[in-house]
Amino acid sequence: MKELVRTNDPVLISWLTSALRDHAIEAFVLDTHTAILEGSIGAIQRRVMVADADFFMASRVLADAGRGELEGEPDGAADD
């Protein structure tokens, strides 16, 4: 398993898992329960994981959607 993205954004997680499913890539969201237990301070991020064999294609899905700069960075942070 490889980590595709780490985020606190539930909309991004929902969109990404749906986009990956559309490309027949199974995604696993880890740390959901821990993130919920810690409250709203955002200290623990959820991780979207994919199988090693699917990582390249999953990365392409993310990049093709214009979200390839993610990897724990906020939008535009990679441009600074």
Q: Where are the domains of the chain?
A: 2-69
44-66, pLDDT tens digit by residue? 788 999 999 999 999 999 888 77
Q: Which residues of the chain have pLDDT under 50?
A: 68-80
CATH 3.30.70.790 for domain 2-69, yes or no, is yes
The single-letter code of the amino acid at 3 is: E
pLDDT (0 to 100) of residue 1: 93
How many whole angstroms separate alpha carbon 30 and alpha carbon 32? 6
Strand locations in the chain (E) = 2-7, 27-30, 46-50
Q: Please tell me the predicted confidence (pLDDT) of residue 49.
A: 95
pLDDT at site 43: 74
Query: What distance in Å separates the CA atoms of residue 73 and residue 24, rounded to the nearest whole number?
Result: 26
Q: Do the beta carbons of residue 50 and residue 60 sit within 8 Å?
A: no
Amino acid at 71: E
